Structure formats: structure tokens, C-alpha cells
Amino acid sequence: MPIHEKSLIRPENLVTHEHLELDGVDVSGHWSTFINSRAVTDYNEAMQEEIAALPGGEFIHRCWQCGSCTNACTVNAINPDFNPRYWIYLIRMGMQDELLRDKDIIWQCVSCNKCTYACPRDVNPEGVMKATSHWLELKGFTEKKPSMVFDEAFSEQVFATGKIEDGLVLRQFFKRMGLPLFQDWLVALVRGLLMKLPVSLMMKLGLATIFRPRTRNWAAASQAIDEYVAERHAADARALKLDAQGAE
Ligand code: SF4
Ligand code: SF4
């Protein structure tokens, strides 16, 4: 649906009269449909700048609205409301309230990057989707999504040990999400692995979840990464004016 129809003619803006007669003509119901005029007063002029300041959003200004990203999008093929081109339009226009209508689906981007390959302007739409999800969360418009909780559990482990143990990541994810550890699909997966993988490898995997192996001489790298992450968080907070300095 073209942008103007979608953003301006929403069901709540349509008014009909159940019983209406004009000059002796019955125009009740559908025949008396009016569209409420809509003055947009909710512009957030800083929105593009804020999202552009977050990782992935840097090139949003290049978009020329060709729609190739949405045409290529994996999620749009399943849910037509998932529309990267439309959200980029709203962000560039500063139409915050319109964007917030879709706040609970923007995070569903699966990072397949089809949009990024299709984009003729190197906007990096996948990055813009990530930056937008991040912006929504930092601004307090959405709660932390499951994908973000998983990313955090994954990253924290890499930062701390320089290695990934899938079992530990999953355990942390379930714990933080308040989910039971023993889920049917997981039990079936482990059972399948037990039957197919060599016993020595299974023992190695099991021991790794208990003893948490580290990459040798990882401490310095870990410290450098922690410092970078702290700097990044501070920069994001400054860009969105969420820090004490920005609030002044
Ligand atoms: S990366 Fe996200 S926005 Fe881009 S095509 Fe894949 S699902 Fe769609
Ligand atoms: S493909 Fe690129 S230029 Fe075209 S609408 Fe999407 S982000 Fe904008």
C-alpha cells in the first residue's frame, strides 16, 4: 500500500454515521464515510540523527525510497507489515508516533542481509533495522527483546573467555528469559546428539560446560573489549542524550 494511504487513512480516522439523511437521501453507514483530517504534530526532528549515531544506522540518509530492500526482505514475504523502506521513510521524516505503531515487529529482522545486497545506495538497511531496534530499547519504547537477551548472553561469554560454549549460552538465555531448562525440543536435540556423536566428543562438550575453557592469554583482549564496549555504551547514551551530560 502506498505510503500516504497507509499512514493517513487508518481505521480510527474513518467516521461513519449509522443513520444519516441528506436532502431526503439516506446516506447511512458506508455512504456517509468521512476521513478525519490529520494534523501531524508528533515530529521528532532528532530521530534520524539519533538512529544514524547508533551502529548500523550511519547511512540512513542515503535512502531514496526505491523499495528494493522491502522487495528482497525475508520477513516481509511472511508479514507485509514488516517494511524496512517504510520505516526508513518515517525515521527520515521524523514521524515518531507512526514508527512506534510498529515497534513490536521491527526487532523481528532476522539479519539475513538480503536487503543490504539489494540496496542500490549502500544504506545497509539491515544495520538500520538493528539501530532502530536498539534506539527503541534505549529510549524505553520497548522492552529488551529475546534476540537481544541472546546476543548479550553470547557476547558476555566471548568477552569473558574468548570461547563459545553453546550449552552455557543456552542456559544463560533460558535463565534470563525465565524459561525452563528442560524443553521438549532441547531434550530431543540432546538425545539425537547422544546417539550420533562420538562419546569422547560428548564428554568434551559436557566438561566444557562445567570448567569453562578460556583462550590462552585472553585477559588483555578481554579488558580491551570491555573498555571498548563501555565507550560504545557511553557514546550511544550521549547520542540519544540519555547521559547526565546530555541532559544538561
Ligand atoms: S536483514 Fe532484516 S530487513 Fe533485511 S532482508 Fe533480512 S529480515 Fe529483512
Ligand atoms: S533499497 Fe536502499 S535506497 Fe532503496 S528503499 Fe531500501 S534502503 Fe532505501
Residue 143, pLDDT score: 86
Residue 5 predicted with pLDDT over 70: no
CA–CA gap between residue 242 and residue 236 (Å, rounded): 8
Q: What is the pLDDT of residues 66-98, one digit of tens each?
A: 999 999 999 999 999 999 999 999 999 999 998
Residue 220, pLDDT score: 94
Task: Name which residue leads in pLDDT, 115 or 199.
Answer: 115
Instruction: Tell me, using a 6 A CB cutoff, whether residue 3 lines ligand 2.
Output: no
Region 198-220: mean pLDDT is: 79
Q: Confirm if 93 and 74 have CB atoms less than 8 A apart.
A: no
CA–CA gap between residue 233 and residue 229 (Å, rounded): 6
Residue 29 predicted with pLDDT over 80: yes
Is residue 96 classed exposed, middle or buried when 0-12, 13-18 and 19+ CB atoms within 10 A define those classes? middle
Residue 178's region, left for phi above 0, alpha for psi from -120 to 50, else beta, is left
Q: What is the pLDDT of residues 47-62, one digit of tens each?
A: 999 999 999 999 999 9
Stated pTM of the model: 0.74
Instruction: Tell me, using a 6 A CB cutoff, whether residue 236 lines ligand 1.
Output: no
* Closest CA to ligand 1's atom 6: 112
Region 10-39: mean pLDDT is: 85
Instruction: Tell me, using a 6 A CB cutoff, whether residue 64 lines ligand 2.
Output: yes
Residue 223, pLDDT score: 95
Rounded to the nearest whole angstrom, what is the distance from the C-alpha of residue 74 to the centroid of ligand 1? 6
Rounded to the nearest whole angstrom, what is the distance from the C-alpha of residue 116 to the centroid of ligand 2? 9
* Closest CA to ligand 2's atom 6: 69
Residue 216, pLDDT score: 87
Among all ligands shown, which has an atom nearest to the Cα of 121? 2
Share of the chain above pLDDT 70, in %: 94
Residue 247 predicted with pLDDT over 50: no
Instruction: Tell me, using a 6 A CB cutoff, whether residue 114 lines ligand 1.
Output: yes
Q: How wide is the angle at C-alpha 237 spanned by C-alphas 232 and 243, nearest 5°? A: 130
